[in-house]
Chain A
Amino acid sequence: ETGVTQSPTHLIKTRGQQVTLRCSSQSGHNTVSWYQQALGQGPQFIFQYYREEENGRGNFPPRFSGLQFPNYSSELNVNALELDDSALYLCASSFKQVNYGYTFGSGTRLTVV
């Protein structure tokens, strides 16, 4: 079985720009979540998608948005980048059952300068 793949692995953007991060879910998984991990901290939940609709959102502003496609791949879009958006962005996929574990990708390291 394939795992979760994310692209790109690293990215440098300028404050105020927009960025799109991509994720391919593990085969058969129908739920995708995005997390932000600042250096030295645990991942923080951004939002989750199930059947192409947002199914839960963490404490992040509307400039963080996402999409889930019919093939269960996903995008995270961040508008008007701020310096504090510099972090590791993680994608995780699962079945829509709480007693299943999530499979995480290795993440995209975003640096905003």
Chain B
Amino acid sequence: DAKTTQPNSMESNEEEPVHLPCNHSTISGTDYIHWYRQLPSQGPEYVIHGLTSNVNNRMASLAIAEDRKSSTLILHRATLRDAAVYYCILRDTETSGSRLTFGEGTQLTVNP
């Protein structure tokens, strides 16, 4: 599985935007970029995914570099409920039903 690299931790203030980076220099052409987050005492929660183009949904935006070797998850206005561990994961489209390979993720702290 192609690997991703994320900062161990990041900090933000409430109601400010947050940009969570992810490097995936060995990404293949068939890999989708997925983001999940895990709040304390809960299972991971799907946030967003994309292949080549930038993506938006009600939770976040995903900005994908033109060479696809990096991506950024954008939370437009952080709230205290966004404090969680955020995981950037690559999923291979060639392997249907493929596993999620979690790294250590980024622990996001949101200050009031």
Contacts and interface: CB of A to CB of B under 8 A. Distances in A.
Given A55-B97, A102-B44, 7 more contacts: A41-B104, A42-B85, A42-B103, A56-B95, A56-B99, A102-B36, A107-B43
Interface stretch (A12-20, A70-78, A79-87, A89-97): A89-97
Interface of B: 32, 34, 36, 41-46, 49, 51, 85, 87, 91-93, 95-105
Contact of A42 (B45, B91, B105): B105
8 contacts: A33-B99, A48-B99, A55-B97, A56-B99, A97-B97, A98-B92, A98-B93, A98-B97
Closest 10 CB pairs of A and B: A101-B46, A42-B102, A104-B43, A45-B99, A96-B97, A104-B44, A90-B43, A43-B102, A98-B93, A106-B43
A42 B98 contact: no
Nearest to B30: A98
A98 B42 contact: no
Given A90-B43, A106-B43, A96 B96 contact: yes
A66 to B, nearest CB: 14
Contacts of A103: 46
Interface of A: 4, 31, 33, 35, 41-45, 48, 50, 55-56, 58, 90, 92, 94, 96-99, 101-107
Contact of A106 (B41, B49, B104): B41
Nearest to B87: A42
